Amino acid sequence: MLKKSMKIQLKNGLEARPVAVLVQVASQHESSVYIESEGKKVNAKSIMGMMSLGLDSGEEVTVIADGKDEEEAVANIEKFLSGQE
């Protein structure tokens, strides 16, 4: 299992469209992927779960991945959240 804290650097935070893209990025990986914020942990492959977090730009989250491609999953999510995708 791999855990990594990161800051959301998307201009408008995680609104509907960025959440949909994040779910697509997470879903490309075999590993289970979770996003944790303020004690709440949701499946990063679930649009409804991710929307329920209501994350804004500048917020800190912890990405947790567990599986064969966990390092790649965390790296790709970090790249997306930092606005490089």
Torsion of CA 2, 78, 80, 34, to 10 degrees: 30
The predicted-structure confidence for 31-49, as pLDDT tens digits, reads as follows 999 999 999 999 999 999 9
What pTM does this model have? 0.93
Residue 17: pLDDT band with limits 50, 70, 90: very high
Torsion of CA 70, 49, 52, 28, to 10 degrees: 50
Domains in the chain with CATH codes: 2-81 (3.30.1340.10)
Beta strands in 1-85 (DSSP E): 2-7, 32-37, 40-43, 60-66
